[in-house]
Amino acid sequence: MIKKYVMFDERDIIPGSDKKPQGKSKQTAEKLRNSYPTLYKFLFAENSNTVKRDNLRRLLAGPDVLPDSFGGSGGIYETMISNFENIISLCPLPENEKVAINCCKEIFPYTNGFGKSVDDTYWLLRALNVRVCPYCNRIYTITLPSKEELANEKEFKTTRATLDHFYPKNKYPYLALSLFNLVPSCHICNNNKGAEDKKIIYPYDEAFEKNAVFRIIPDLKASREEESNPLNFLLGESIQFYIRFMGNGEVSLIHDLPLSERLVNIKDDSYRERIEKSVEIFRLEQQYDEHKEEVRDILRNRYYFNEQYIQNAVCPLLHQKMRNIGIDQLKDIAMDMLFFTHLDQEEWGKRPLSKLTSDILDQIS
């Protein structure tokens, strides 16, 4: 797909291609030699204009051996980010940045998708199959029409997620068409991030997991003003609480404690800072504070459908239909059914608010 857009001959991009050169790679070499010498040196053998195919493919689609974070083993890079950081370190912008950036825009053109055609953008999004925004886990990022609708040739208004450039294309224009620099995301997160170049969580490599977790903190001031029990929210009877991130195991009743202090038990400083920047840039705490109604439903359901109810009422019913499944797995299925989500961390990407639900249930269990 990308071969149609970058200014390189197909044989330099696709291993084993025997298509005759069209002169695109040679033209690109001349442009980069004059406008962006360090990128030229990375992509071409000096003085011969021969493409360093491994480097070009690494820039466009990642290293041949996938990083450890992608399930690979034995490769040079532990993460995809380390691959990108290596490329960036080898390709600093020259003194005349504007000329270099404009040159890259011709070689790696990206305009609201791939070139002028939206078909390939939709193809990529369907292939990635990212159902929920990986930055916020709040909003679906489903692509329509679906494969089934396309197969049936139905008329359908198109809709899709946005593609965020993790490394902003205005600063790293040579990464504008790099597959793993394109992160399917919701419009809100893409707009919030904009052209920010701060170190945040890179969804292809890492996540908050259970290191930074959602916690509910009672709104003691509101309870005093209404002369109500500040713990009524645990029964799903009020929304007098705050939704905040904390390090797993941290306990605090101070809702406006700085985030850095709430995450203090995350010992990896760099990882903790990436989490903090993600929370800040995507305004995650402000956005999740608007989900108090959903959290109240979670708390109410957990109060009425407790562990005893699940074990004595729900699991026996499920067992009648699923006789080959063990009791622990039946409990997991029952919990997913009762809370309309996927509580298994590996499946959070299938439903919005899955992490929120999982973290809150952990807190009150």
The predicted model scores a pTM of 0.89
| Residue 182, pLDDT score | 94
Q: What is the pLDDT of residue 117?
A: 56
Considering Cα of 6, then 12, then 18, then 21, what sign does the dihedral take?
positive
Q: Domains of the chain: which residue ranges? A: 2-104, 119-193, 212-364
User: What pLDDT does 151 receive?
Assistant: 66
> Which positions of the chain have pLDDT values less than 70?
1-7, 15-22, 112-119, 146-157
- Nearest 5°: the CA angle 270, 273, 275 is 115
Q: What pLDDT does residue 226 have?
A: 82
The pLDDT of residue 22: 66
Instruction: Please tell me the predicted confidence (pLDDT) of residue 144.
Output: 81
For residue range 316-352, list pLDDT tens digits in order: 777 777 777 777 788 888 888 889 899 999 999 999 9
The pLDDT value recorded for residue 156 is 61
**Residue 20: what pLDDT?**
64
First to last CA, the chain: 48
**What is residue 19's predicted lDDT score, i.e. its pLDDT?**
66
